Each structure stands twice: as C-alpha cells, then as structure tokens.
Amino acid sequence: MAKPESVLRPLDSEAVRLARTLMRTARFGALAVLDASDGSPFVSRVAVASDCDGAPLILVSGLSQHTQALQRDPRCSLLLGEPGKGDALAYPRLSVSCTAQLVSNQADLARVSGRFLRHVPKATLYASLPDFRTYRLQPRGASLNGGFGKAYRLEAADLLTADAFGLATFEASILEHMNDDHADAVSLYAEKLAGQPAGKWSLTGIDPEGIDLAAGDLTARIWFDARIENRHAARTALVDLVAKARGGTSPAAEPHSEE
C-alpha cells in the first residue's frame, strides 16, 4: 500500500515568525491535559502570556481540574490562535506540545509574574490568591496551520528565542520609561508598523527579537530588523522603529552611550 503523501510544507522563516507571533500575542488558549482521575483527555480555556524566550506562561488555580491534571502528568498541549469574522478555519492556529513546569524560584517568579500581568492585566484580580501558581509550558514541538494548505511541523528550537534572558534585568525599566515618557512613540509603533487602530497602546514586553504591545483587548507584535543583546542596543532599536514608522531615517537613530 502506497504511503500517504505528506501535507506538510517545508518549514521557512515566514512560518517560524508566524508561529512565534501567535505565541507572543496570545492572551488565551485551549489547554489539553490528561485528567487526573482516569487519564482521559480534558480541555480548558486558560489565560496565556509568554516568557522572555516566547515559552507560554499560564497562571492557574490549584483547585482547578486542569492544574490537578498537570500535577499528576505535566504533559499537555496548548492551542493558540484567535478566529475572526467568517470561516474560523481560515485563520492561523498553533498547537504546541509542552511539558508544564511549576515556577517556584523567586527570581524566575518575579520575572514571569511581571510579564504575565503586563500582558494579561485582568489577572491582577486573582494573581495574589494563595492557591494560584504560575507554570511555564516548555515547548517540545508544534503543529502550525497557517490557513488552507499551509501546514508545518516545528521543533522546540523553531519556537523559542535563543539566549533571550539578557534583557530581563532591564525590561521593566525600559517599558516604564517608554510608556511614561514616550507614549506617542508607542502609539506610532502600533499604528504605523503593526497596522493597528488608534488607542491607548503600551509596551508589555521587550526581548532580543522584538516588542509586544497592548491596548484594551488588542495585542500586537513588532519584530526588530536585527537582534539586540543589551540595554544600549534596545534604546537604539526603539529609536530606529520611530524613524521607520515615520517612513525615513533620523539622526536620533544613531547609537547612544549606555545609560
């Protein structure tokens, strides 16, 4: 019997960027676990953010069925991708196979909590409750459907930003400075570079490959032209984005000394 022809396309940079964008911009997803009582599949909707390298983060109650399942068996899958008007199957979605890791180290917890609450601010209503815990969903691989006839298989390395934690120490201060002192630039990023409507936009994350933004129920991702590694490079990249949004270059986009 002839082997069925594969429907998968060769993985390319555009598909990798789409997958990473879906992980970075998602605020909710469908979490599939193995039920703790009998091992049967169980799916629940969860709020989602991303760590510095793009790995999904979830903040969940220890009383919930899906958390109890993860405590018994950390294997899970997370479906990301929000449908819009018309055919829901025409919109891209990403199914990520993961291993859930409880975040307990205080330094790691401070980092992921900050990223989660900036991306999902409504979680502040329950984040401090004693039964809530943060899990990092370490990707093992993923299946990307970018629309009809656009199926791809990705490995963990395709999904994550390598060496992504160098900016973590400075992230909060960079975001606070931009949101407090350069709100006009942040809005410019969203409207001109991400094609989003006008609104009260804020930066919610910065990593070596780009920035994440939010305004109300909307989120957006903007990718840098080149990878950045430190605070000085971050400042230069953010200034360069302003020039790019304005359709030209500016002397202000020249590198500055370290603050």
Q: Render pLDDT for 92-108 as a digit per residue (tens, 0 to 9).
A: 999 999 999 999 999 99
- The pLDDT mean for the chain works out to 93
| pLDDT of the residue at 250 | 42
188 in Cβ contact with 44 (< 8 Å): no
Domain 168-248: what homologous superfamily?
PNP-oxidase-like (3.20.180.10)
Average pLDDT estimate for 211-221: 97
CATH 3.90.550.10 fits 13-159, yes or no: no
Average pLDDT estimate for 37-44: 95
56 in Cβ contact with 98 (< 8 Å): yes
30 in Cβ contact with 44 (< 8 Å): yes
- The three-point CA angle 60-175-249 to 5° equals 135
Within this chain, domains 13-159 and 168-248 share the same CATH topology: no
Q: Give the domain ranges of the chain.
A: 13-159, 168-248
The contacts of residue 140 (CB under 8 Å, 6+ apart) are: 97, 98, 99, 156
Q: Is 136 helix (H, G, I), strand (E, B) or coil?
A: strand
